[in-house]
Structure 1
């Protein structure tokens, strides 16, 4: 009897997805828009993660609700993309954000774990050539629609409205 290695078969599937890309441009200066967004939205911070590690679930839930605030969204991560351009010799005013609501993400990923690919949402803010600011993001409902789950589609529609609303509010001069 020989111990031949077991060969496992890997399956790869590729799908083409139509995604609505949203671009919001405002004459409001980048620094003002960035400050307004970061002061308006709560943060998913290490204190919340520590509560989760300690399995203090009700405290986690309360902290997540507080972080999401009236807009129902919180900043999970801030990426200083404009600063990274120093590697090419020129810094620019550009920031990428991961924005979302863990409670919404849990609703979706409990149905299909692959929904975690798009939760939290990605948003980029940059100074445009006119001296104003531009937000760009992919509309959540078009990203999550691939899962074909009405419950996920419902939450994604809420995210569409909440994200668009907060970006319009912080961008309004």
Structure 2
């Protein structure tokens, strides 16, 4: 056991909670139209036949019109309602494995932060919010310029998605500063 190394990396994280001037259900529906489900069977078929990466890239472009797909969706409000909590929350794992691959080739540990975790919430005040951590914060913690650059690119892609959804865009997502 001697010689084993444990790395501990502390980092600041910027969490955004963007107020949405729209009903929870309406915004959630628009978000899910802009970010469609990951077509698992279609990608699995590419894996089964050993397709080339160009085919994977083409399918990802087709499946993710705004650069992202939903890999997982959970309506936490239903479960929490059993405890008497009547807030609403749908959480997502949203990403694009062809973007993640650009970082994975440098360090597979980036999958701690890819896909991105997003949540649409409605609290006691009745306000719908779109919540997420800034992508560059997690990916920048690896100390690798190539990974950090993709994290900044993800910031820009999230900003583009927010603009498409007519949601206020935090300035840091657009300025590229990490």
- Over residues 80-135 of structure 1, what are the superposed CA-to-partner deviations in whole Å (9 max), with x where a residue is unaligned? 11112133134432111111111110000111111111011001111143433101
Quick one: which of 98, 101, 109 aligns to 2:96?
Answer: 101
Q: Would you say the 8 A contact 1:51–1:59 is kept in 2?
A: no
Q: Would you say the 8 A contact 1:42–1:74 is kept in 2?
A: yes
**Match for residue 66 of structure 1?**
62
**Match for residue 3 of structure 1?**
none
- Over residues 33-56 of structure 1, what are the superposed CA-to-partner deviations in whole Å (9 max), with x where a residue is unaligned? 100000111221222332243122
Distance 2:159 2:56 in 1: 26
**Match for residue 162 of structure 1?**
157
Q: Is 1:26 the equivalent of 2:9?
A: no
Asked which structure has the greater RCO (Cα within 8 Å, sep 6+), the reply is 1
Secondary structure of the residue that 2:139 maps to in structure 1? helix
Note closer, same or farther for the CA distance 1:13–1:53 as it changes in structure 2 (3 Å cut): same
**Match for residue 138 of structure 2?**
143
User: What TM-score do the two structures reach when normalised by structure 2?
Assistant: 0.82
User: What TM-score do the two structures reach when normalised by structure 1?
Assistant: 0.84
Paired residues in the alignment total 166
Q: Would you say the 8 A contact 1:37–1:167 is kept in 2?
A: no
Secondary structure of the residue that 2:22 maps to in structure 1? coil
Q: Would you say the 8 A contact 2:87–2:123 is kept in 1?
A: no
**Matching of residues 5-24 of structure 1 within 5 Å:** 10-24=4-18
Larger radius of gyration: 1
Q: CA deviation at 1:30?
A: 0.5
Q: Is 1:118 the equivalent of 2:121?
A: no
Distance 1:51 1:119 in 2: 22
Quick one: which of 26, 33, 37 aligns to 2:31?
Answer: 37
**RMSD over equivalenced CA pairs, Å:** 2.2
**Match for residue 147 of structure 2?**
152
**Which stretches of structure 1, 4 residues or longer, exceed 6 Å deviation after superposition?**
none
Gapped regions of structure 1 (runs ≥ 5): 1-6
Gapped regions of structure 2 (runs ≥ 5): 169-178
Q: CA deviation at 1:62?
A: 1.8
